[in-house]
Chains A and B, each alone.
Chain A
Amino acid sequence: MRCLVWAILLTVFALTCGVNAYEYSITIVEDYKHSSDLWPCNVGDLTPWGTREANLVEEWLGTKAGWSEVFRHKDSGVTKEDFGINNTGYQGLDEADFHFHMGHGYNLPVWGTFLALWDWSPCSGGTTVDPSDVSKKWDFNNEWVLLHSCNVLSDVSSWGNALKYSHIIMGFSTTTYADTNLIDRFFRAAIDWDWTITQSYYYATTETYDESVKAVLIADTEDQYDNDHLWGQGYVSDDEYPDDDTVWYAEWSC
Protein backbone atom coordinates (compact mmCIF):
# COMPACT_ATOMS: atom_id res chain seq x y z
CA MET A 1 0.00 0.00 0.00
CA ARG A 2 2.83 2.38 0.97
CA CYS A 3 4.58 1.60 -2.34
CA LEU A 4 1.42 2.44 -4.26
CA VAL A 5 1.10 5.81 -2.49
CA TRP A 6 4.74 6.63 -3.30
CA ALA A 7 4.25 5.63 -6.91
CA ILE A 8 1.21 7.91 -7.23
CA LEU A 9 3.05 10.80 -5.56
CA LEU A 10 6.08 10.36 -7.83
CA THR A 11 3.86 10.28 -10.92
CA VAL A 12 2.04 13.45 -9.87
CA PHE A 13 5.41 15.16 -9.17
CA ALA A 14 6.77 14.15 -12.57
CA LEU A 15 3.66 15.39 -14.33
CA THR A 16 3.55 18.73 -12.53
CA CYS A 17 7.24 19.61 -12.22
CA GLY A 18 9.20 17.57 -14.72
CA VAL A 19 7.19 18.27 -17.87
CA ASN A 20 6.58 21.76 -19.23
CA ALA A 21 3.09 22.33 -20.58
CA TYR A 22 4.28 24.63 -23.38
CA GLU A 23 5.45 23.08 -26.62
CA TYR A 24 7.06 24.08 -29.89
CA SER A 25 7.83 22.44 -33.22
CA ILE A 26 10.25 23.19 -36.05
CA THR A 27 10.42 22.48 -39.78
CA ILE A 28 13.38 23.59 -41.89
CA VAL A 29 14.05 22.97 -45.55
CA GLU A 30 17.51 24.22 -46.49
CA ASP A 31 19.24 21.60 -48.69
CA TYR A 32 16.75 21.40 -51.58
CA LYS A 33 16.84 18.43 -53.97
CA HIS A 34 17.06 20.76 -56.99
CA SER A 35 19.46 23.36 -55.57
CA SER A 36 22.20 22.58 -58.11
CA ASP A 37 19.92 22.46 -61.19
CA LEU A 38 20.33 25.19 -63.80
CA TRP A 39 18.00 28.18 -63.85
CA PRO A 40 15.01 28.22 -64.24
CA CYS A 41 14.73 24.77 -62.62
CA ASN A 42 16.91 25.41 -59.56
CA VAL A 43 15.78 26.15 -56.02
CA GLY A 44 18.30 28.17 -53.96
CA ASP A 45 20.34 26.38 -51.30
CA LEU A 46 19.66 27.79 -47.82
CA THR A 47 22.30 25.73 -46.02
CA PRO A 48 23.23 26.25 -43.16
CA TRP A 49 20.82 29.05 -42.31
CA GLY A 50 17.81 26.86 -41.58
CA THR A 51 19.81 24.83 -39.06
CA ARG A 52 21.27 27.95 -37.45
CA GLU A 53 17.85 29.57 -37.08
CA ALA A 54 16.30 26.34 -35.76
CA ASN A 55 19.11 26.01 -33.21
CA LEU A 56 18.28 29.49 -31.94
CA VAL A 57 14.59 28.63 -31.60
CA GLU A 58 15.63 25.62 -29.49
CA GLU A 59 18.01 27.76 -27.44
CA TRP A 60 15.37 30.38 -26.65
CA LEU A 61 12.22 28.26 -26.25
CA GLY A 62 13.82 24.99 -25.13
CA THR A 63 16.82 25.99 -23.01
CA LYS A 64 15.87 29.47 -21.84
CA ALA A 65 12.05 29.36 -21.52
CA GLY A 66 11.86 25.62 -20.71
CA TRP A 67 9.38 24.64 -23.41
CA SER A 68 9.26 21.09 -24.80
CA GLU A 69 10.03 20.25 -28.42
CA VAL A 70 7.33 18.16 -30.11
CA PHE A 71 9.32 17.66 -33.33
CA ARG A 72 12.14 19.10 -35.41
CA HIS A 73 12.01 17.92 -39.02
CA LYS A 74 14.48 18.82 -41.75
CA ASP A 75 14.73 18.71 -45.57
CA SER A 76 13.23 15.46 -46.97
CA GLY A 77 11.93 14.68 -43.46
CA VAL A 78 9.48 17.61 -43.68
CA THR A 79 6.04 16.50 -44.86
CA LYS A 80 2.80 18.26 -45.74
CA GLU A 81 1.30 16.66 -42.62
CA ASP A 82 3.79 18.61 -40.48
CA PHE A 83 1.86 21.76 -41.41
CA GLY A 84 -1.33 20.61 -39.73
CA ILE A 85 -3.30 19.64 -42.81
CA ASN A 86 -5.25 16.95 -40.92
CA ASN A 87 -7.92 17.36 -38.30
CA THR A 88 -7.54 13.80 -36.98
CA GLY A 89 -4.54 11.61 -36.15
CA TYR A 90 -1.14 13.32 -36.50
CA GLN A 91 -1.83 17.07 -36.59
CA GLY A 92 1.70 18.39 -37.18
CA LEU A 93 2.24 22.00 -36.10
CA ASP A 94 -1.21 22.06 -34.55
CA GLU A 95 0.11 19.79 -31.77
CA ALA A 96 2.46 22.52 -30.44
CA ASP A 97 1.84 26.07 -29.16
CA PHE A 98 4.53 27.68 -31.36
CA HIS A 99 5.74 26.55 -34.77
CA PHE A 100 8.77 27.82 -36.66
CA HIS A 101 9.31 27.12 -40.36
CA MET A 102 12.23 28.16 -42.55
CA GLY A 103 12.30 27.43 -46.28
CA HIS A 104 11.37 28.82 -49.66
CA GLY A 105 8.01 30.41 -50.30
CA TYR A 106 6.65 31.62 -53.61
CA ASN A 107 3.85 33.59 -55.16
CA LEU A 108 3.66 32.50 -58.79
CA PRO A 109 1.12 33.43 -61.46
CA VAL A 110 -1.66 30.80 -61.65
CA TRP A 111 -0.14 28.76 -58.75
CA GLY A 112 -0.60 31.49 -56.13
CA THR A 113 1.30 31.37 -52.83
CA PHE A 114 2.84 28.20 -51.42
CA LEU A 115 5.64 26.83 -49.28
CA ALA A 116 8.04 24.70 -51.31
CA LEU A 117 9.11 21.47 -49.64
CA TRP A 118 12.36 19.57 -50.28
CA ASP A 119 11.58 17.97 -53.68
CA TRP A 120 9.91 20.99 -55.32
CA SER A 121 11.29 22.63 -58.46
CA PRO A 122 9.73 25.16 -60.86
CA CYS A 123 10.28 22.65 -63.72
CA SER A 124 9.20 19.33 -62.22
CA GLY A 125 6.84 20.49 -59.47
CA GLY A 126 6.91 18.49 -56.24
CA THR A 127 5.49 18.78 -52.74
CA THR A 128 4.06 22.12 -51.68
CA VAL A 129 1.97 23.43 -48.82
CA ASP A 130 -0.80 25.61 -50.24
CA PRO A 131 -3.10 27.77 -48.13
CA SER A 132 -6.02 25.55 -49.21
CA ASP A 133 -4.23 22.61 -47.49
CA VAL A 134 -4.49 24.35 -44.13
CA SER A 135 -7.77 26.21 -44.56
CA LYS A 136 -9.65 26.10 -41.19
CA LYS A 137 -7.26 23.34 -40.03
CA TRP A 138 -5.38 25.04 -37.19
CA ASP A 139 -7.87 24.39 -34.43
CA PHE A 140 -6.19 22.02 -31.96
CA ASN A 141 -3.27 23.18 -29.79
CA ASN A 142 -1.38 25.77 -31.86
CA GLU A 143 -1.35 29.50 -31.08
CA TRP A 144 1.49 31.02 -33.12
CA VAL A 145 3.25 30.24 -36.41
CA LEU A 146 6.35 32.00 -37.74
CA LEU A 147 7.00 31.37 -41.44
CA HIS A 148 10.48 32.54 -42.38
CA SER A 149 9.77 32.26 -46.10
CA CYS A 150 9.47 34.73 -48.96
CA ASN A 151 6.20 36.02 -50.40
CA VAL A 152 3.56 33.70 -48.90
CA LEU A 153 1.84 36.29 -46.69
CA SER A 154 1.19 38.48 -49.74
CA ASP A 155 -2.07 36.48 -49.81
CA VAL A 156 -3.49 37.41 -46.40
CA SER A 157 -7.02 36.10 -46.92
CA SER A 158 -5.92 32.59 -48.00
CA TRP A 159 -3.37 32.06 -45.21
CA GLY A 160 -5.54 33.88 -42.67
CA ASN A 161 -8.15 31.22 -43.38
CA ALA A 162 -5.96 28.68 -41.53
CA LEU A 163 -6.62 30.50 -38.25
CA LYS A 164 -9.64 28.66 -36.92
CA TYR A 165 -8.55 28.72 -33.28
CA SER A 166 -4.82 29.47 -33.75
CA HIS A 167 -4.00 33.08 -32.92
CA ILE A 168 -1.25 34.58 -35.10
CA ILE A 169 0.78 33.92 -38.27
CA MET A 170 3.96 35.95 -38.84
CA GLY A 171 5.79 36.09 -42.15
CA PHE A 172 6.67 38.17 -45.20
CA SER A 173 4.87 39.42 -48.30
CA THR A 174 8.10 40.05 -50.26
CA THR A 175 11.51 38.50 -50.67
CA THR A 176 13.29 38.08 -47.34
CA TYR A 177 16.80 37.11 -46.25
CA ALA A 178 18.19 34.26 -44.13
CA ASP A 179 19.38 35.91 -40.91
CA THR A 180 19.64 34.49 -37.40
CA ASN A 181 19.16 38.01 -35.98
CA LEU A 182 15.45 37.75 -36.83
CA ILE A 183 15.02 34.82 -34.44
CA ASP A 184 17.35 36.16 -31.76
CA ARG A 185 15.67 39.57 -31.67
CA PHE A 186 12.14 38.18 -31.73
CA PHE A 187 12.69 35.92 -28.72
CA ARG A 188 14.80 38.48 -26.85
CA ALA A 189 11.87 40.92 -27.01
CA ALA A 190 9.19 38.28 -26.34
CA ILE A 191 11.01 36.41 -23.54
CA ASP A 192 13.63 38.70 -21.97
CA TRP A 193 11.56 41.88 -22.25
CA ASP A 194 8.04 40.34 -22.08
CA TRP A 195 6.83 42.34 -25.10
CA THR A 196 3.69 41.27 -26.94
CA ILE A 197 4.10 38.96 -29.95
CA THR A 198 3.18 41.86 -32.26
CA GLN A 199 5.68 44.30 -30.74
CA SER A 200 8.40 41.60 -30.74
CA TYR A 201 7.85 40.83 -34.42
CA TYR A 202 7.90 44.52 -35.37
CA TYR A 203 11.18 44.98 -33.46
CA ALA A 204 12.80 41.84 -34.94
CA THR A 205 11.87 42.64 -38.54
CA THR A 206 12.68 46.36 -38.60
CA GLU A 207 16.03 45.87 -36.85
CA THR A 208 17.06 42.97 -39.09
CA TYR A 209 15.99 44.07 -42.58
CA ASP A 210 15.92 47.20 -44.68
CA GLU A 211 12.86 48.83 -46.20
CA SER A 212 12.81 46.55 -49.27
CA VAL A 213 11.45 43.73 -47.08
CA LYS A 214 7.78 43.80 -46.04
CA ALA A 215 6.70 41.96 -42.89
CA VAL A 216 3.12 40.80 -42.24
CA LEU A 217 1.40 39.71 -39.03
CA ILE A 218 -2.08 38.16 -39.20
CA ALA A 219 -4.14 37.66 -36.02
CA ASP A 220 -7.46 35.88 -35.66
CA THR A 221 -8.85 38.61 -33.37
CA GLU A 222 -7.96 42.21 -32.53
CA ASP A 223 -7.47 41.22 -28.89
CA GLN A 224 -4.88 38.59 -29.88
CA TYR A 225 -3.12 41.11 -32.16
CA ASP A 226 -2.97 43.61 -29.30
CA ASN A 227 -2.32 41.48 -26.21
CA ASP A 228 -0.89 38.03 -26.94
CA HIS A 229 2.40 37.25 -25.20
CA LEU A 230 4.26 33.97 -25.39
CA TRP A 231 3.03 31.55 -22.71
CA GLY A 232 4.69 32.39 -19.40
CA GLN A 233 5.56 35.96 -20.46
CA GLY A 234 2.21 37.69 -19.92
CA TYR A 235 -1.44 37.72 -20.92
CA VAL A 236 -2.63 35.43 -23.71
CA SER A 237 -6.05 36.10 -25.29
CA ASP A 238 -8.73 33.46 -25.63
CA ASP A 239 -9.21 31.47 -28.81
CA GLU A 240 -11.87 32.93 -31.07
CA TYR A 241 -15.04 30.90 -30.66
CA PRO A 242 -17.02 30.63 -32.82
CA ASP A 243 -14.75 31.42 -35.77
CA ASP A 244 -16.01 34.56 -37.53
CA ASP A 245 -14.06 34.49 -40.86
CA THR A 246 -12.43 37.82 -40.04
CA VAL A 247 -8.70 38.31 -39.43
CA TRP A 248 -6.75 41.39 -38.35
CA TYR A 249 -3.46 42.12 -40.05
CA ALA A 250 -0.73 44.71 -40.33
CA GLU A 251 1.97 45.00 -43.01
CA TRP A 252 5.01 47.27 -42.79
CA SER A 253 8.21 47.95 -44.72
CA CYS A 254 11.14 46.93 -42.53
Chain B
Amino acid sequence: MPNGRVEVVIMKSKYLFLSLVCLFALIGGIVIGSQFYQAQHIILKVKTPEAPDTAPYFRVVNREKDFYVSNELMKVKPSLPSNETALKIVKKFMLKKGGIPEDAELAKVERVMLKALNVKTGEIIRQKPLFVSVKYKRELNGAPVIGPGDEIEFAVANDILYYSKKWSILEYAGNVNIISAKEGLKLLERGSIVNKPMSIAFPLTVSDIKLGYYSDGKRNYYYPVWIFYCKDNLGNDLKLAVKAIK
Protein backbone atom coordinates (compact mmCIF):
# COMPACT_ATOMS: atom_id res chain seq x y z
CA MET B 1 0.00 0.00 0.00
CA PRO B 2 1.44 3.42 -0.88
CA ASN B 3 2.45 5.59 2.09
CA GLY B 4 -0.11 8.30 1.28
CA ARG B 5 -2.94 5.76 1.38
CA VAL B 6 -1.78 4.32 4.73
CA GLU B 7 -1.82 7.85 6.22
CA VAL B 8 -5.36 8.42 4.96
CA VAL B 9 -6.54 5.10 6.47
CA ILE B 10 -4.85 5.98 9.81
CA MET B 11 -6.43 9.47 9.75
CA LYS B 12 -9.87 7.95 9.01
CA SER B 13 -9.40 5.41 11.82
CA LYS B 14 -8.51 8.25 14.23
CA TYR B 15 -11.63 10.18 13.27
CA LEU B 16 -13.72 7.03 13.61
CA PHE B 17 -12.22 6.34 17.05
CA LEU B 18 -12.78 9.96 18.18
CA SER B 19 -16.35 9.86 16.86
CA LEU B 20 -17.03 6.64 18.74
CA VAL B 21 -15.58 8.12 21.97
CA CYS B 22 -17.79 11.21 21.56
CA LEU B 23 -20.85 9.04 20.85
CA PHE B 24 -20.27 6.85 23.93
CA ALA B 25 -19.62 9.94 26.06
CA LEU B 26 -22.87 11.46 24.82
CA ILE B 27 -24.89 8.28 25.49
CA GLY B 28 -23.22 7.88 28.90
CA GLY B 29 -23.97 11.52 29.73
CA ILE B 30 -27.64 11.12 28.82
CA VAL B 31 -27.98 7.91 30.86
CA ILE B 32 -26.16 9.33 33.92
CA GLY B 33 -27.99 12.64 33.54
CA SER B 34 -31.41 11.02 33.37
CA GLN B 35 -30.59 8.91 36.45
CA PHE B 36 -29.48 12.06 38.28
CA TYR B 37 -32.75 13.75 37.37
CA GLN B 38 -34.73 10.68 38.39
CA ALA B 39 -32.99 10.64 41.76
CA GLN B 40 -33.53 14.37 42.28
CA HIS B 41 -37.22 14.70 41.49
CA ILE B 42 -38.14 13.64 45.04
CA ILE B 43 -36.24 15.33 47.86
CA LEU B 44 -36.51 13.63 51.23
CA LYS B 45 -36.42 16.02 54.20
CA VAL B 46 -37.32 13.38 56.76
CA LYS B 47 -36.01 9.98 57.84
CA THR B 48 -38.08 7.06 56.57
CA PRO B 49 -39.99 5.73 59.59
CA GLU B 50 -39.78 2.19 60.92
CA ALA B 51 -42.63 0.04 59.63
CA PRO B 52 -44.52 -2.49 61.74
CA ASP B 53 -44.53 -6.05 60.39
CA THR B 54 -48.29 -5.95 60.08
CA ALA B 55 -51.11 -3.41 60.28
CA PRO B 56 -54.88 -3.81 60.60
CA TYR B 57 -57.27 -3.48 57.67
CA PHE B 58 -60.99 -2.81 57.88
CA ARG B 59 -64.19 -3.87 56.12
CA VAL B 60 -66.88 -1.29 55.29
CA VAL B 61 -70.11 -2.40 56.96
CA ASN B 62 -72.16 0.65 56.08
CA ARG B 63 -71.75 4.18 54.74
CA GLU B 64 -73.40 7.05 56.60
CA LYS B 65 -74.45 9.99 54.44
CA ASP B 66 -76.17 13.10 55.68
CA PHE B 67 -76.66 16.40 53.90
CA TYR B 68 -78.14 19.84 54.39
CA VAL B 69 -77.90 23.00 52.30
CA SER B 70 -79.31 26.49 52.75
CA ASN B 71 -80.31 28.81 49.88
CA GLU B 72 -77.85 31.25 51.44
CA LEU B 73 -74.82 29.09 50.56
CA MET B 74 -72.15 31.18 48.72
CA LYS B 75 -74.16 34.41 49.19
CA VAL B 76 -72.51 37.50 50.65
CA LYS B 77 -73.02 37.99 54.42
CA PRO B 78 -72.82 41.21 56.42
CA SER B 79 -70.16 39.62 58.66
CA LEU B 80 -68.72 36.25 59.69
CA PRO B 81 -68.40 34.69 63.15
CA SER B 82 -64.91 34.19 64.58
CA ASN B 83 -63.35 30.78 63.98
CA GLU B 84 -64.04 29.83 67.62
CA THR B 85 -67.72 30.83 67.33
CA ALA B 86 -68.01 28.95 64.02
CA LEU B 87 -66.74 25.78 65.74
CA LYS B 88 -69.27 26.29 68.55
CA ILE B 89 -72.08 26.61 65.94
CA VAL B 90 -70.87 23.38 64.31
CA LYS B 91 -70.73 21.48 67.63
CA LYS B 92 -74.21 22.71 68.59
CA PHE B 93 -75.59 21.65 65.19
CA MET B 94 -73.96 18.22 65.50
CA LEU B 95 -75.51 17.64 68.94
CA LYS B 96 -78.82 17.10 67.12
CA LYS B 97 -77.06 14.52 64.93
CA GLY B 98 -75.52 12.55 67.77
CA GLY B 99 -72.34 14.63 68.04
CA ILE B 100 -69.08 14.69 66.16
CA PRO B 101 -67.68 11.12 65.87
CA GLU B 102 -64.97 10.28 68.40
CA ASP B 103 -62.49 9.34 65.68
CA ALA B 104 -62.97 12.67 63.84
CA GLU B 105 -60.15 15.20 63.79
CA LEU B 106 -60.46 18.89 62.88
CA ALA B 107 -58.74 19.27 59.47
CA LYS B 108 -59.39 22.92 58.54
CA VAL B 109 -61.03 26.17 59.57
CA GLU B 110 -60.88 28.67 56.71
CA ARG B 111 -62.51 32.05 56.08
CA VAL B 112 -63.82 32.33 52.52
CA MET B 113 -64.34 35.77 50.98
CA LEU B 114 -65.72 37.10 47.69
CA LYS B 115 -63.04 39.40 46.31
CA ALA B 116 -63.27 42.11 43.66
CA LEU B 117 -60.07 42.29 41.66
CA ASN B 118 -58.90 44.85 39.13
CA VAL B 119 -57.47 42.73 36.30
CA LYS B 120 -55.34 45.59 34.99
CA THR B 121 -53.51 46.31 38.26
CA GLY B 122 -53.98 42.96 40.08
CA GLU B 123 -55.23 44.92 43.08
CA ILE B 124 -58.00 43.53 45.33
CA ILE B 125 -60.35 46.47 45.61
CA ARG B 126 -63.09 44.98 47.79
CA GLN B 127 -63.76 41.90 49.94
CA LYS B 128 -67.10 40.56 51.12
CA PRO B 129 -67.62 37.73 53.64
CA LEU B 130 -69.06 34.42 52.39
CA PHE B 131 -68.62 31.74 55.10
CA VAL B 132 -66.26 29.97 57.47
CA SER B 133 -65.34 26.57 56.10
CA VAL B 134 -64.89 23.78 58.69
CA LYS B 135 -63.84 20.22 57.93
CA TYR B 136 -63.37 17.12 60.06
CA LYS B 137 -61.39 14.12 58.82
CA ARG B 138 -61.08 10.63 60.23
CA GLU B 139 -58.37 8.98 62.28
CA LEU B 140 -58.34 5.18 62.36
CA ASN B 141 -56.54 3.65 65.34
CA GLY B 142 -54.58 6.91 65.54
CA ALA B 143 -53.58 6.71 61.84
CA PRO B 144 -54.67 9.42 59.36
CA VAL B 145 -57.27 8.71 56.69
CA ILE B 146 -56.74 10.82 53.58
CA GLY B 147 -58.99 11.23 50.52
CA PRO B 148 -62.54 12.58 50.21
CA GLY B 149 -64.34 9.45 51.45
CA ASP B 150 -64.57 10.11 55.19
CA GLU B 151 -65.27 13.77 55.86
CA ILE B 152 -67.68 16.09 57.60
CA GLU B 153 -67.83 19.44 55.81
CA PHE B 154 -69.51 22.66 56.98
CA ALA B 155 -69.97 26.16 55.63
CA VAL B 156 -70.88 28.42 58.54
CA ALA B 157 -72.10 32.00 58.85
CA ASN B 158 -74.47 32.87 61.71
CA ASP B 159 -76.00 29.45 61.10
CA ILE B 160 -75.08 26.31 59.15
CA LEU B 161 -75.21 27.00 55.40
CA TYR B 162 -73.87 23.65 54.24
CA TYR B 163 -73.38 20.33 55.97
CA SER B 164 -72.23 17.10 54.36
CA LYS B 165 -71.27 13.96 56.25
CA LYS B 166 -69.70 10.96 54.56
CA TRP B 167 -68.60 8.45 57.17
CA SER B 168 -68.03 4.73 56.79
CA ILE B 169 -68.93 2.27 59.53
CA LEU B 170 -65.95 -0.05 59.70
CA GLU B 171 -65.11 -3.35 61.35
CA TYR B 172 -61.70 -4.90 61.92
CA ALA B 173 -61.06 -7.46 59.17
CA GLY B 174 -57.59 -8.72 60.09
CA ASN B 175 -53.93 -7.79 59.74
CA VAL B 176 -51.82 -7.55 56.58
CA ASN B 177 -48.04 -7.59 56.09
CA ILE B 178 -46.54 -4.16 55.47
CA ILE B 179 -43.71 -3.07 53.13
CA SER B 180 -41.06 -0.71 54.51
CA ALA B 181 -41.35 3.05 54.03
CA LYS B 182 -38.26 2.85 51.77
CA GLU B 183 -40.10 0.42 49.50
CA GLY B 184 -43.06 2.80 49.62
CA LEU B 185 -40.75 5.60 48.51
CA LYS B 186 -39.70 3.51 45.50
CA LEU B 187 -43.38 3.15 44.56
CA LEU B 188 -43.76 6.93 44.84
CA GLU B 189 -40.72 7.46 42.58
CA ARG B 190 -42.22 5.07 40.01
CA GLY B 191 -45.50 6.96 40.13
CA SER B 192 -47.55 4.05 41.56
CA ILE B 193 -49.74 6.47 43.47
CA VAL B 194 -53.23 5.55 44.73
CA ASN B 195 -54.66 9.10 44.57
CA LYS B 196 -53.04 10.04 41.26
CA PRO B 197 -52.86 13.81 40.68
CA MET B 198 -53.35 15.16 37.15
CA SER B 199 -49.90 16.72 37.26
CA ILE B 200 -47.14 17.22 39.79
CA ALA B 201 -44.82 20.24 39.71
CA PHE B 202 -41.53 18.45 40.48
CA PRO B 203 -39.31 18.36 42.44
CA LEU B 204 -41.38 17.16 45.40
CA THR B 205 -40.09 17.82 48.90
CA VAL B 206 -41.26 15.15 51.36
CA SER B 207 -41.62 16.55 54.88
CA ASP B 208 -43.35 13.63 56.60
CA ILE B 209 -44.20 9.97 56.00
CA LYS B 210 -46.97 8.17 57.89
CA LEU B 211 -48.71 4.84 57.72
CA GLY B 212 -52.44 5.50 57.25
CA TYR B 213 -55.45 4.75 55.06
CA TYR B 214 -57.01 6.14 51.88
CA SER B 215 -60.75 6.55 51.52
CA ASP B 216 -62.64 7.60 48.40
CA GLY B 217 -66.11 6.49 49.50
CA LYS B 218 -66.19 3.60 47.00
CA ARG B 219 -63.88 0.98 48.54
CA ASN B 220 -65.21 -2.00 50.48
CA TYR B 221 -61.97 -2.38 52.45
CA TYR B 222 -59.57 0.11 53.98
CA TYR B 223 -56.04 -1.22 53.46
CA PRO B 224 -52.93 0.50 54.86
CA VAL B 225 -51.09 3.01 52.66
CA TRP B 226 -47.88 4.96 53.07
CA ILE B 227 -48.78 8.66 53.03
CA PHE B 228 -46.12 11.09 51.80
CA TYR B 229 -46.71 14.68 52.92
CA CYS B 230 -45.09 16.73 50.17
CA LYS B 231 -44.70 20.24 48.84
CA ASP B 232 -44.38 20.69 45.08
CA ASN B 233 -42.14 23.33 43.52
CA LEU B 234 -45.05 25.81 43.54
CA GLY B 235 -45.45 25.47 47.31
CA ASN B 236 -48.66 23.41 47.09
CA ASP B 237 -49.22 20.80 49.81
CA LEU B 238 -49.83 17.30 48.50
CA LYS B 239 -50.67 14.10 50.35
CA LEU B 240 -49.72 11.20 48.09
CA ALA B 241 -50.58 7.63 49.04
CA VAL B 242 -48.97 4.38 47.84
CA LYS B 243 -50.08 0.85 48.75
CA ALA B 244 -48.34 -0.41 51.89
CA ILE B 245 -49.36 -4.06 51.61
CA LYS B 246 -46.59 -6.60 50.98
Contacts and interface: CB of A to CB of B under 8 A. Distances in A.
A161 interface: yes
Nearest to B33: A38
A84 B202 CA distance: 30
A225 interface: yes
A162 B200 CA distance: 26
A44 B193 CA distance: 13
A106 B199 contact: yes
A252 B120 contact: no
A172 to B, nearest CB: 9
Contact of B239 (A151, A212, A247, A249): A212
B148 A176 contact: no
Contact of B197 (A158, A160, A177, A222): A177
B198 A178 contact: yes
A39 B122 contact: no
A248 B202 contact: no
Contact of B148 (A39, A196, A210): A210
B114 A175 contact: no
Contact of B199 (A105, A226, A250): A105
B234 A39 contact: no
Contacts of A161: 119
Contacts of B183: none
Contacts, number: 132
Q: How large is the interface on A (under 10, 10 to 19, 20 to 34, 35 or more residues)?
A: 35 or more
B210 to A, nearest CB: 15
A226 B73 CA distance: 10
Nearest to A210: B148
A175 B107 contact: no
Given A249-B114, A253-B133, A206 B153 contact: yes
B159 to A, nearest CB: 16
A43 B199 CA distance: 8
A151 B146 CA distance: 21
Given A44-B199, A107-B201, A157-B117, A151 B234 contact: yes
Q: How large is the interface on B (under 10, 10 to 19, 20 to 34, 35 or more residues)?
A: 35 or more
A245 B118 contact: yes
B115 interface: yes
B147 A210 contact: yes
A108 interface: yes
Interface of A: 38-40, 43-44, 46, 104-108, 148-151, 154, 156-158, 160-161, 174-178, 196, 198-199, 202-203, 206-212, 222, 225-226, 245-254
Interface of B: 34, 37-38, 41, 69, 73-76, 107-108, 110, 112-120, 122, 125, 130, 133, 135, 137, 146-148, 151, 153, 155, 162, 164, 166, 195-202, 232, 234, 236-239
5 contacts: A107-B234, A177-B197, A177-B198, A226-B75, A247-B119
Given A151-B234, A199-B74, 19 more contacts: A38-B37, A39-B38, A40-B202, A43-B199, A175-B199, A175-B232, A177-B195, A177-B198, A196-B74, A202-B74, A203-B69, A206-B164, A210-B147, A225-B114, A226-B75, A245-B119, A248-B117, A249-B117, A250-B113
